């Protein structure tokens, strides 16, 4: 996988892209949520830049021979940790987790792959469990 500068909008956006692709595909509502809300309003990158990050993330996954299913069952945890390390600011981690959760739920369905990846983020970043 490519690397991005630590705590950059691109590093944060890639983690959101991975969550959306956590089950091997992204719905149109997830793409719309990413480009409309997430990229332009929250991360400080353009919608085109966000789509580019989605595309390069897909390309990187294909280079890793990812053909669908759960990302967690395909990529080893060490590789995922190195990606997560690129976002090490606690406030940015919380923001990325919240945005990734929002996007994953934008299609009214949280797949097992998305849920598992969100839980991995929560554990690695030592975020508190959800209330309720």
Whether 129 is covered by a domain: the verdict is no
Task: Specify burial of residue 35 (Cβ count, 10 A radius: 0-12, 13-18, 19+).
Answer: middle
Would you say residue 62 lies in a domain? yes
Residue 3 lies in a domain: no
State the pLDDT at residue 51. 84
What is the model's pTM? 0.84
Q: Are 28 and 64 in contact (CB under 8 A)?
A: no
CATH number of the CATH domain containing 106: 1.10.3680
Residue ranges making up the domain that contains 26: 9-124
4 within domain boundaries: no
Residue 23 lies in a domain: yes
Instruction: Give the Cα separation of 63 and 58 in Å (integer).
Output: 9
- The kind and range of the H/E element at 51 are helix 47-63
Question: How many folded domains does the chain comprise?
Answer: 1
Residue 131 within a domain: no
Q: Is residue 87 part of a domain?
A: yes
- The CA-atom distances, in angstroms, between 58 and each of 9, 20, 68, 85 are 18, 11, 11, 20
Secondary structure of residue 106 in the 3-state scheme? coil
Question: For the segment 51-96, what is each residue's pLDDT rounded down to a tens digit?
Answer: 888 888 877 777 666 555 555 556 778 888 999 999 999 999 999 9
């Amino acid at each position: 996988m490519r690397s991005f500068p630590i705590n950059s909008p691109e590093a944060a956006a890639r983690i959101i892209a991975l969550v959306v692709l956590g089950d091997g595909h992204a719905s149109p509502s997830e793409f719309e949520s990413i480009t409309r809300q997430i990229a332009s309003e929250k991360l400080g990158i353009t919608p085109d830049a966000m789509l580019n990050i989605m595309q390069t993330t897909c390309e990187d996954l294909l280079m890793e021979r990812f053909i669908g299913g759960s990302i967690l069952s395909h990529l080893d945890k060490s590789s995922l940790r190195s990606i997560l390390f690129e976002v090490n600011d606690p406030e940015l981690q919380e923001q990325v987790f919240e945005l990734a959760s929002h996007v994953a739920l934008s299609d009214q369905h949280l797949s097992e792959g998305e849920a598992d990846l969100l839980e991995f983020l929560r554990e690695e970043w030592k975020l508190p469990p959800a209330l309720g």
